[in-house]
Amino acid sequence: MGKIAFVFAGQGAQFPGMGEELYASSPAARGVFDAMEAVRPGTLKQCFSGDKETLSRTLNTQPCLFAMDLACAAALREKGVNPDLLAGFSLGELAAVAFAGMLPVEAAARLVCRRAELMDACAAGEPTAMAAVLRLTAEQVESLCKEFDRVYPVNYNCPGQTVVSGCREQVDALSQRAAALGGRAMRLNVSGAFHSPYMHAAADGLRDYLSGLTFAQPAMPVYANATAQPYGRDAADLLSRQVESPVKWEQTIRAMRAAGADTFVECGAGKTLSGLIAKIDPQVTVLRVENDQTLNSTLEKLGGNA
């Protein structure tokens, strides 16, 4: 086996009840959730018994998903599975930063809360949307975006899937244009035009907040969304840029493959990243952890003990 990479889920993967099983079964996962609850009371209730609408609001989604992502990885580490490389999709990048020891969990939790507040405030302005454009190349989607003045290509997910973000009316119009070219567009379950210029104020606010933090060197390479390369000593810059810059996910997975990763474990809610990685490189092993069953299955496949 080559290197193991943990990848952390992003916004849109949330679901009611997430994390409750692991909270009961894994002391390490429970510790993560309890740390988040201490920083932000009410997180446990939202994760375990919150409704879909409550969980879908950015202000709630990001802290809850951060706790879920990190708890899943902690449960794996508790069983003796340690990654060689890390990456996270959008919000998931902050879970990677925390897991790598660049920030203490409590400091990372407060950072996530501040990020959520800033992005939620940006999302409260002009009606915006995000949509995944399928069956068209990234270059075709970029060309389509040039036909509009307030829609941007923002997530390079995998071959044949590029996400656009921007003015809701123009996203809908672009979706129709994509269909005319043989593509298909699917609206995403998010509340703002993330990773676009619509998030510029959030990036500025995050930059101010990050200037007061001290980052340790990561215990293992952490790949940044904005560059698809490992962090150096530029964590504050990368994390502030990230909210208004495209997520280079396909490029990130290819860079991790080039660095020797052949097993990817998705930590957190859902299986979105697992599907994307399988499309980027069908030769790799893709596993995931979101509850007891997937944890035990992943441990079995990795040769560990449940």
Judge whether 90 counts as a catalytic residue: yes
End-to-end C-alpha distance for the chain, whole angstroms = 20
Quickly tell me which residue has 């992502």 as its tokens: 69
Rounded CA separation 99/76 (Å): 12
Q: Is 282 exposed, middle or buried, given 0-12, 13-18 or 19+ CB atoms closer than 10 A?
A: exposed
Choosing from 165, 175, 195, 196, the catalytic residue is 195
Choosing from 26, 90, 191, 196, the catalytic residue is 90
Quickly tell me which residue has 């086996």 as its tokens: 1
> Which CA distances in Å does 237 have to 47, 98, 210, 224, 279?
30, 16, 8, 11, 30
Tokens of 118: 């800033």
Rounded CA separation 49/59 (Å): 16
* Contact assessment for residue 277 and residue 7, using Cβ atoms and an 8 Å cutoff: yes
The string of DSSP codes covering 157-190 is EETTEEEEEEEHHHHHHHHHHHHHTT-EEEE-S-
Judge whether 195 counts as a catalytic residue: yes
DSSP state of 101: T
Return the SS3 of 86.
strand
> Pseudo-torsion of CA 160, 162, 167, 169, nearest 10°?
10
Active-site residues, by number, are 90, 195
